[in-house]
Every structure is written in structure tokens, then in C-alpha cells.
Structure 1
């Protein structure tokens, strides 16, 4: 009875510590593995001596195997084939050629610098070729790099995990069975990959078929069916060929994602929560089982070997694998910098330490200590500096430029041309052939299609654009378009013109849908003004001494319906104005001012041509006077002064 209570207490402490580490990491915006490692070591025998993972016996190996299966399935479920297509060449190279470069470079550095025997050195290198989605995923959620880089790192982390684990098993088999020939080694690797791929694809397709046709099963039960199916196909694949189950779970996740099953978002949310729990428990247990003395016993040579792996081998691998890609040097440098190791390296290293000891081969504890040293150095150095490096390289998503605008109405075309005039990419999308024709005549890139078509949005380049804006005349449609863009692509800035009394709240989305322009703006009214030529295009630079007065003037004109703020130019970035945006000194505000004198504009422009509105044909409005309005009569005077 006391033994069962002891094990129960161990699991309870592990879960509480793991979730606490996740909460603290979420609050401090740092990779959760940092606190998972610290908490695990602190609670282990070398710390407070509360956790003793070896008491779990073979149960620890079972927990590791089943948890890794869930983690890799969830990683595959989050990989979109459309996203992978954009970086397919670089990703293929990183998973194949990059793995070979890391294996050779890591093995050489471990032998020459850490003084490992060649066999143990290459076994270590095979364990650290993986980067790990359990670290990459949370890291990218906090750093928010551009979509192309994020997709490449996520794809590498998910796809290289099973490849690395299988490679490590092949190397271990070679060490234990030293008589194996090179042909047998390669055959073993390919056989495991092939079996895993076939079983994963087949079972993934069957699962998707069941989820689509089993309408009698509730959504909650479907999530559990998927969980049972994942463990089932993992066990089947492992039974046919050891270590092939990891590849099977990844492929099953990718197939299920590509099958567009109903309520996919709920499934991904459930699996994501389950993955967080698995990662939390495993990292606490594995780090608690780590001997700190064995890490210190490695010496400075091992630290140098890990440094070579991080700062020499990884950059060489990325440079070679992305040689012919469309990535610029900043993106390549960030990919080279971020390669933290994770749960698969730790779990397989812990398992191999036991197997090597059982086979009477020395070096198991040293390999485990070396792998954990690699995890610590890569997570602490790369993980904690990733945000700073991304900002220095200017590849964060909030620094992305360009816009995809849904709506080829006069206002949409005007904003598109403002973006284009300042050298930023812009694409318009509309279903109206006549509106698309007008945009084309103004030399604006345009697609005649629905804004709900994911393929068209992808072709328009939404993944690399900084702004998505729904600007049709129907506010409810705009909100739906923006919410769909959030779910499918998660652009850095998502804006829409929508009614304030809408029953659908945009703040429920992971990426908030912001109101474009001002809350009381009537797009139909301003489109009518543009059509009739009753506007002037103005700009003003907000200055420190008069900032509060300038804002008061502008807000007075906005409330009077005479002025519509459009864009803010801030530090060379062009941003669509939102009601929640705080204007800052040195901001350049671009706006429309209502001018009910279309006949004068006709004479100046040689006739009313609002459909072919050119920026240079619109005289810029003089900056507004400084005196703050205190009465409607003063407001009228300010408006008239601004229009002269």
C-alpha cells in the first residue's frame, strides 16, 4: 500500500511541477523547457530529493514511448502541406543532407573535443541531429518570426524527430551488433522509415474516413477515438519493426490534417493540450533522473564540442541546405541560430543509457549527460536569445510589410495605391468583375475571387504579408473573412470594418481582429465621397510639443464625420489606423478629408475620374491649426481652414 502511495505521490508532484513550469514560462515569455529542466533537477535526487523516476521501473519507458507518439502526431497534425510546399526544397535538404552533416560534424567534435570513442561519439551525434517540435513550437509562438521561417523550423522539428530517432537506433544496433555490414545498416534505416510511412498513411486515412462518416459519435468522443487510433497505429508499427512507430505517428498526423476532417480545430486544440501535459511530465521526470555530477564530469572539452555543434556545424548545414532557396541571408542566419534540442533527444538518450549498460558497454551515462548538456546549452543560449536575434535581423512578423485587401471599392483601391506608392507589396481581391477591372486599370495586382478561398489567399502571398484587411461594404462579411484569415494563416495584423453590435466577437481569436480606421466610420459614405470626388487626401506629422492639441483637432474632425484616418507611417512601417492605436510623436498620419466641392475638383482634375484616382491629382491638405476647438462654431472654422 505504501509503495502505491509513493508512486502516486511521484506522479502528482511531477504533474504539479510540470504545469507550474508551463505557467511561469507563459508569464515570462520564455521557452517552457527552461523551467522544466530547472524544476526537474531541483526536485530530483541531486536537489530536494522528492522525485525518484527510477522507482517507476519499466513504466517510465512506457510513458516515454506513448508520450513521444502523441507529441509527434500533434506535430504532424500542425503541419500544412500548403505551407510545406513553399519550403519543400530546403526542408527536404535539412531532413536528409542536414542530418548527415550534423551526424558527421557532431561525431567528429565529440571524438576530438569530448574525447569520446568513435562509436559513442557517433551515437551521441545521432541523438542530437533532431531539433524537436516541443521546443521549437512554443518558441515560435513567442518570437513570431515571418511565416516562411516559422514553417521551415516547425517542419524540420517534426519531420527530423522520427528520422533522428530511427537513425539513433540503427547506430545503437551497429554498436551492439558490431558485425553488421553497411548494407544491413542502410536497409534497417530505410525499412523502418518505409514501414512507418505506409502504416501512418493508411491508418491516418482510415481515421479521417471514420471522423467524416461517424456522425453518431460526439465531438468529445471523436477526440478520444483519435487518441486510441494514434496509440494503436504506433503499437502496430512498433510490433512490425521497432522504432518505426515514430514515423507512423508523424505521417498519420500530416494525412489527417490534409484530409480536412470536420472540427479539425477542436481536434488540434485537444491534442495540443495533451502534448503540453506529456512534455511537462516527461521533461520533469527525465531531468530529475539526471546526475549533475555526470554532467560536470564531462569537462570543458564537452562544452566546446557542443559549441562547435551549435556555431559551426549547424550554420554550415543550413548554408548548404538552403543554398538555392528563396530565403534571404537574415532568414538563413536565424534558422542557423535556432536549433534547440528537446524531448526526443532526452528520452531516447535515457533509454540508450539503460540498453548500453545492459549490453555491458561503457558510455551510457556519459551519452545521457552529454545530450542533456546539449539540451541545456541550446535551450538557454538559443532559446532565450531568439527574440532578440529575430528583432536584430528584422524578421519578426510584426515587422512584415505589404497588405492583402479584400474589396476593390474606391477606398480599397486608394489604400492599395498608398501602400504601392511607398514600395510595399499589395494585392486586392474581389468578386466584382467591374471593380477588379478598375483596379487592373490602375496597375494594382488583383484577383477576381472570394476572400474565403485559401488557395487564392496563398497565391496572393498572404503568408508573407504584414497586413490582412477586409474592406467590403458588408461589415458582417468582413468579420467572417478576417476570422477565417486568422484561423488559416494567422497574419501579423488582421483588420476589418465591421459593425460594433456584431454578435461575433473578434477577440476570441488567437490573433485579434482589429477594427480598421475608426469605429463610427461608414465605408459606404466614404466610397460615395470618393466616387463623387468630394475628398482631399491629407497628411500631417505629429509633433511632440503639440501632440495633445493635434490629437484633439483630429478627433473633433473625426467625430464630425469630416475626416477619416487611413494610415500611420511609423519608423518606415506603414500601418492601417485602428481605434485602439495610440498615436506617437513623429508619426505621419495619412487621412481623407471630406470636401463637398466636387465641381472645383472637376475643374482642377479635368473632369471627375474618381475610378482612376491618382495620388498626385489630390492636393495634400495643409496641416491642421494648433488651437483646440471648444465649440461647434470653432470646429466648423477648423474644417474650413483645413480645406482651403
Structure 2
């Protein structure tokens, strides 16, 4: 059969099998990597022999490099710098001190249990530094963990990937050269970090400037420009020094997210779809290239090495890196348990195995087998137990209680909405001096004229949301007064909406910016929160809120009947014409009960 046709069939089977595995994982509500690895092993030479990655030759390395660049860029694009700043100290420690602890601990475990010689043991430790956003991020979305924990794990997964890959390449060069000069290792590491930082900053900055200034591009063309640019940034950094491109694309993604470029949501959606496709292809190909015999050849030393990494090295790293932080013991325990390895570890191990074999050095197959065993064990043990562990430790991102303080009309309506959706809440007139809350996790919404210092609540965790903080609630003072008057005089409409696609998200943001809606309650997945602070909406979000009238141009809006006990007035709410004259006297700012 023609070699070109063989390659075509190989890619067709790989894509079809990878997507089928993702669909099955979504149906079973399990991490996709579990089914992707099993699919690759089943279709590989040790299984049905339908997928033979060696047919791609050097094309496999090219495919891996471009896909990894795309995955890391998408990871950087998904990170919010504002959230990262809240855990910046612990995050900094994890990608520096934590990386060193993992390299050293992994090397000791591999040398002690798997009997790797020290050079290969340190190479293994360097490869498993990365935790992998391709596994961690979907896992956290499924678990709905505490925001601080999720931010720290996502930030670590994205930022440690390029750093870990760079460290692994430097260690590999050290092993291949046979040099004993540790200074060369540090020099290679610093050079790649500096080149990557400069290329990512310059390239990402120029791309952001271009996207903000050029208005004639369509949404589809804009996303393709970003794709071409990220690979150009990656290639430019790689041309200067190998592996510098990994850090460059992460920084470029962070910059684009930070400057809020046009059509950011569309770009994130497009890159997310490409990333899912890339992960599906790579995991199947790399798993198919793994020899099952090499896994069994590790003996009991292989699993013992991974268990030492999970149960000893990771908790030690988390304990030291979060020392003195405001994280409690339960959050630290969850962080210690969740560190699954993903596509970066698999791709780096596969490439290193080829390089070691080409240089005539033994150990390439053993390194690859040990890394894949690490991926399998961490994903199965940690991924399948993550939600149960989070529940037991109490680190789920669902406030145990929402407390509404005051008798403002907004609070009364919120209480009704929460009751209708069976969400735990409490409505009180004032906060007692010594409150007896049922939970330590409280969202406390203070009505107007309510002043309660956080230290008087006696809570470990309190999210204070003052209703009269108009700098956050409304765009202007006039806007605040108008909404209060509309609600008091029942000249607005109650609605709910689910943002099912990208167009709905854009329509929602436009309505917010035009001050046509006031969101009250927000549901994302299984998590609920008060939506009085307008946030960036995402596909799949559900909102309850108020509209000025029923002329709102939102495709999937559902108008709601006002609750029967909402007002003592027998008159139902009536919408006014768009050009109605509205006055907002000072005393209208505080509606009566």
C-alpha cells in the first residue's frame, strides 16, 4: 500500500478513536485521559496494531511540538492574572522550590525503587515535574473545588509545564554530553527562560496591539491570526534556543488575556476546541507507541516509585511551598493529593526515549515506561477520587450559606430566587454581635445602611458584598438610582437565561454594557453565586436578573412571572416605553420594604 495512504489512514483512525474516547469519557464523567490512554494501548502494536506511530517518522516530533505549543498557549489564555495574584506567593514557591523538591524526590525514588542510575533518575525527576493543565483543568471543572485551590492548581499546571520541559531538556543535554559541570546546566536553564520570556512578551504584545487596532478582521479570521501568530512566536523562540518556545507561548497567552483583546471569548473557544483535538491525537499516538512489556519490566519498583512521588514528595512540596500562607489544612491536603501528569510528560518522555536510543544509551524505554506508569497511576488514583476527596475535606466551591442582611428590595428578590432554586440562604435584618452560623463558609450580602466589620462576624471565611458599594454594583451613580427606582415602582421585568453559545455570551455582554440588565443570581455548573458584580460570562452559564423592558435582544431569554408575595401592591409589574422620563430623587435610593 502507498505510504501516503498509510499515513492518511493512520491519522483518520487516530482522530476517530481519540474523539470517540473523549465522548465516552464525557458520558462516563471521567477524565478523558483515562480513555485516551486505554484506546492508544488497545490500538497500538501490542493490541490490535491499527495505529503505528513510527509511520510518521520525524513528523511525529513536529506534530508533538506544534500541539504542545497550542496546548500551553491555551493554558496561558485561560489564566486570570487577578486570580493568580491572590495566591502569588504559594504559586511562585511551587514553580521554583516545589520543582526542585519534585526533581530531587523523584530522582531518589526512581534510584531507590526502580534502580535507575543517577543520571536517568534525575531525568525522570525532571520529566515528572510538570502536572499538566490538560488533566488538571478539566478535573477541577468537574470537581468544582474552592477558588483558591483551583487557581493555584491551574496556575501551577500552566506555568510549571514550560519550566519543567526546559529543565528536562537541560538535564537531558547534561546526560548526553557526559559533562560534570553543573554550571552548564544553570546556564542552559537561564538562557531558555530569558529567551522565552522576551519572545513571549514581545510577540504577545505586538499581537495584542494588532488585534486591538485592526477592526476589519472577521471573528473567524481573527482566531486564525492568533493561531498563526502563536506558532510564529513559538518558532522564533525555538530558532534561538530549543524549548524556549514553550515559555514564550504561555506568556503570550497570559498577555492576550490580560489586555482583553476583541473577540477574546471566541478565540478561547476556538483554541479550546483545537486543544481538545490535539490532546486526543497525541495521547492515542504516544500511548500506542508504548510497549506493554516495558511496563511489566519495571516490576514492583515502578509502582513504588510513583507512590513515593504521590504520598511523600508531593505533600512535602506543598507543605513547604504553602508555609505561612492563608490556606487551611484541608486546602493543603487537597493540593497534596491532586497532581496528575499529562500530555507534556508523555510527549517529553517519548522524545527523550528516541534521543537516548539514537545516541546508543540504554534506559530510553525504561524512562518512557516509568513516566507513562506515573501518568496512568496519578490520573486513575487522583482523577477518579478527586471529587470524593474534595467533599470529605470540605473544599468544594459552593458556599454552605448565603446570608442577606437588610430589607432592601434587591435582597428580598434574591431571597425568593434562592428559595425557588433550593439554595441554602438566610435573610436577617441585622448581623448579631455574636452570630451562630451553621457554616464557616459564608457569602454575606449587606443591604444599604448596613455596616458590619468582618472581624465582628466571628467567621473563618467571609465574602462581604456591600449592596451600597455602587463603584462595583453599577457603572454610575445615576444608573444605581434608576435601577432602584425601577424596582421600587415595578417598572422592570424578571428573567432567566442560559447562555448556550458564543453569540448568546456576546449579546449578554452588550446588554450589560448598555445598562439594559441587572444580573442577580449566577449558576455555573454546580456552583451558585450572587451576580451583582458583573463578571465575564461563559458558555453554559445561567443567570437570573432584571431587564428594563421586554424588548431585550437576547435569543434564549425566558421571562418570569413576578412572585405572588413580591409586593403588597395588587398591580403587576408594567414595562415603560424606552423613552420614558425617569427621575431619581435622592430619597429613591433606599426603597421602602
Q: Judging changes above 3 Å, is the alpha-carbon distance between structure 1 residues 205 and 58 closer, same or farther for their aligned structure 2 residues?
A: same
- Bigger mean CA offset, 31-40 vs 402-411: 402-411
CA positional deviation for 1:141? 1.4
**TM, length-normalised to structure 1:** 0.72
Q: Judging changes above 3 Å, is the alpha-carbon distance between structure 1 residues 325 and 503 closer, same or farther for their aligned structure 2 residues?
A: same
| Map of 2:428 onto structure 1 | 418
- Correspondence 1:79-158 to 2 at 5 A: 79-158=79-158
Post-superposition CA distance 1:400-450 (Å, at most 9, x none): 544699995474599575395663644548xxxxx73x2349998625225
State whether residues 397 and 492 of structure 1, in contact with CA within 8 Å, keep that contact through their aligned partners in structure 2.
no
- Correspondence 1:307-346 to 2 at 5 A: 307-346=307-346
Q: Judging changes above 3 Å, is the alpha-carbon distance between structure 1 residues 494 and 186 closer, same or farther for their aligned structure 2 residues?
A: same
- 1:449 and 2:489 are equivalent in the alignment: no
State whether residues 406 and 451 of structure 1, in contact with CA within 8 Å, keep that contact through their aligned partners in structure 2.
no
- Bigger mean CA offset, 268-277 vs 393-402: 393-402
Secondary structure of the equivalent of 1:397?
coil
**TM, length-normalised to structure 2:** 0.78
| Map of 2:450 onto structure 1 | 439
CA positional deviation for 1:270? 0.5
Which ranges of structure 2 fall in alignment gaps of 5 or more residues?
A: 416-425, 457-463, 476-486, 494-515, 523-530, 573-589
Secondary structure of the equivalent of 2:536?
helix
- Bigger mean CA offset, 349-358 vs 488-497: 488-497
| Map of 2:563 onto structure 1 | 521
Distance in 1 (CA, whole Å) between partners of 2:189 and 2:400 is 41
- 1:380 and 2:380 are equivalent in the alignment: yes
Post-superposition CA distance 1:6-55 (Å, at most 9, x none): 11000000000111111111111110000000101000001111000011
Q: Judging changes above 3 Å, is the alpha-carbon distance between structure 1 residues 312 and 367 closer, same or farther for their aligned structure 2 residues?
A: same
Secondary structure of the equivalent of 2:324?
coil
Distance in 1 (CA, whole Å) between partners of 2:86 and 2:294 is 43
Superposed CA RMSD in Å reads: 3.3
Distance in 1 (CA, whole Å) between partners of 2:163 and 2:428 is 48
- Correspondence 1:162-181 to 2 at 5 A: 162-181=162-181
| Map of 2:37 onto structure 1 | 37
Distance in 2 (CA, whole Å) between partners of 1:205 and 1:91 is 24
CA positional deviation for 1:3? 1.1
State whether residues 439 and 445 of structure 1, in contact with CA within 8 Å, keep that contact through their aligned partners in structure 2.
no
Post-superposition CA distance 1:248-271 (Å, at most 9, x none): 000000011001101111110000
Post-superposition CA distance 1:295-344 (Å, at most 9, x none): 00000011101100011110111111111111111111111111000000
Distance in 2 (CA, whole Å) between partners of 1:403 and 1:32 is 38
Distance in 2 (CA, whole Å) between partners of 1:85 and 1:381 is 30
- Correspondence 1:197-596 to 2 at 5 A: 197-402=197-402, 408-409=408-409, 411-412=411-412, 417-418=427-428, 423=437, 425-428=442-445, 436=448, 438-440=449-451, 446=466, 447-451=468-472, 474-475=492-493, 477-479=517-519, 485=534, 487=536, 495-496=544-545, 503=552, 519-521=561-563, 526=567
CA positional deviation for 1:496? 3.2
Q: In terms of Rg, which structure is larger?
A: 1
Q: Judging changes above 3 Å, is the alpha-carbon distance between structure 1 residues 322 and 413 closer, same or farther for their aligned structure 2 residues?
A: farther
State whether residues 22 and 32 of structure 2, in contact with CA within 8 Å, keep that contact through their aligned partners in structure 1.
yes
State whether residues 131 and 160 of structure 1, in contact with CA within 8 Å, keep that contact through their aligned partners in structure 2.
yes
CA positional deviation for 1:396? 1.4
Q: Which has the higher contact order (CA 8 A, sep 6+)?
A: 2
Secondary structure of the equivalent of 2:242?
coil
Which ranges of structure 1 fall in alignment gaps of 5 or more residues?
A: 430-434, 455-470, 509-513, 530-559, 563-609, 614-644
Distance in 2 (CA, whole Å) between partners of 1:171 and 1:270 is 35
Distance in 2 (CA, whole Å) between partners of 1:261 and 1:37 is 36
Instruction: Provide the aligned length of Structure 1 versus Structure 2.
Output: 506
CA positional deviation for 1:486? 5.8
Distance in 1 (CA, whole Å) between partners of 2:518 and 2:135 is 36
Q: Judging changes above 3 Å, is the alpha-carbon distance between structure 1 residues 396 and 500 closer, same or farther for their aligned structure 2 residues?
A: farther
Secondary structure of the equivalent of 2:42?
helix
State whether residues 408 and 592 of structure 2, in contact with CA within 8 Å, keep that contact through their aligned partners in structure 1.
no
Secondary structure of the equivalent of 1:362?
coil
Post-superposition CA distance 1:548-596 (Å, at most 9, x none): xxxxxxxxxxxx999xxxxxxxxxxxxxxxxxxxxxxxxxxxxxxxxxx
